[in-house]
Structure 1
């Protein structure tokens, strides 16, 4: 039975069952995260991110991105938050050989690192468009309904606006994916009212309450929310 309750001022679904399922332990989580082993290039890109003081997506999250890109046969992807190319490499692995990623990040240094990783992986330069700028300035300039996938991994305080842009940018049958959907175990904590936590909850609620979206919350990495646009 599903009912709805309030979490941080945002309506959230809560599930009541007659019995509590067995919780997975850390060994099971680790087994799931590493079930598909990353290649050397992904490892290097993650190490580069850590060197720059960034938190790269986990191996499980990268695997999920690759799977989703392949599932929707993505040929055009928008990425908010380039990082050092970890997510981009995973998406390229899932796309066809002619797939193109448009990736937006306000930090040129990160994009330089990502460009180096893409080149090392043999990705042709005409398959990625790296735009250094504020995502909320760039996204409105992209074409409606022209993209198969939108991956959101930027400023947490702008997640609600990113979701609104994703709905416009995606074709029917396209997928939006939000990273950090569980945000350091804080989203599920009803007592936490930090700004980032509250905005992420609002973004999740916006997806859940949008009729065009069919959502799925995946407990991999720091949480991935995926939703298909009808």
Structure 2
């Protein structure tokens, strides 16, 4: 028994992966290619991906929204776990999305995924403007520009179903959110979001130290 969450050094993290990770070949290949690309630090860790896949199956999600595609690892994780349904992913970078589409096809889930090219704010406002989208998504994953997380959240609350789950990535921000001397704009935005979500009585909340930290909220 422990009163605190265990700290993972490299050796223990490798053990965790060895005894728990079940990674589809397409996911492994995508992760390997992404390591050679610009911004590879934006890709989620494989254990975080497996956690998200577990959540998709646990809540039987069949309508998923993702804000921030990058090279498509998290979208592929969710589509593979979903098997049937619809996943909409938003991003403005056609080059990185091209990488994503290659692996979605390789894994034979491209028919489940719809990509909306453009700014996340424009795409979200478009989705909100269509009545049939309101309250229709089972799960939403927010992993884009940190300064707009709160604005994305308010729009996502209109799109998520009752009891649906919204996940926020990078909420621990390499520990910088806990450093009061760190006044970088992204850090401040995440710190303020964390405080806001803690007090938001429209949702249930939990924060877990997977990857760079995930907050999950469930619409009440």
TM-score w.r.t. length of structure 2? 0.88
Out of 114, 117, 123, the residue aligned to residue 103 of structure 2 is 117
Q: How does 1:161-200 map to 2 (within 5 A)?
A: 161-200=151-190
1:49/1:83 contact within 8 Å kept: no
**Is 1:75–1:98's contact at 8 Å kept on the other side of the alignment?**
yes
Query: Are residues 1:82 and 2:69 paired?
Result: yes
Q: Corresponding residue for 1:31?
A: 15
- Cα distance change, pair 81–22 in 1 and its aligned pair in 2 (3 A): closer
Per-residue deviation at 1:206?
A: 2.7
Of structures 1 and 2, the one with the larger relative CO (CA 8 A, separation 6+) is 1
Q: Secondary structure of 2:69's match?
A: coil
Regions of 4+ moved over 3 Å: 19-23, 27-34
SS in 2 for 1:131: strand
1:139-161 CA distance string (max 9 Å, x none): 02212111011101111111111
Question: What is the root-mean-square deviation in Å for CA atoms of aligned residues?
Answer: 1.8
Q: Deviations over 1:58-112 (max 9, x none)?
A: 01210111011112111111101111111011111221x3221110001011111
Q: Which runs of 5+ in 2 are unaligned?
A: 128-132
Contact residue 102 and residue 131 of structure 1 kept, 8 A: yes
Greater share of strand residues, 1 or 2?
Answer: 1
Q: Say which structure is richer in helix.
A: 2
Structure 1 residues without counterparts, runs of 5 or longer = 1-18
Aligned residues: 210
Partner of residue 203, structure 1: 193
Q: Partners of 1:108 and 1:85 in 2: how far apart?
A: 12
More off after superposition, 164-173 vs 24-33:
24-33
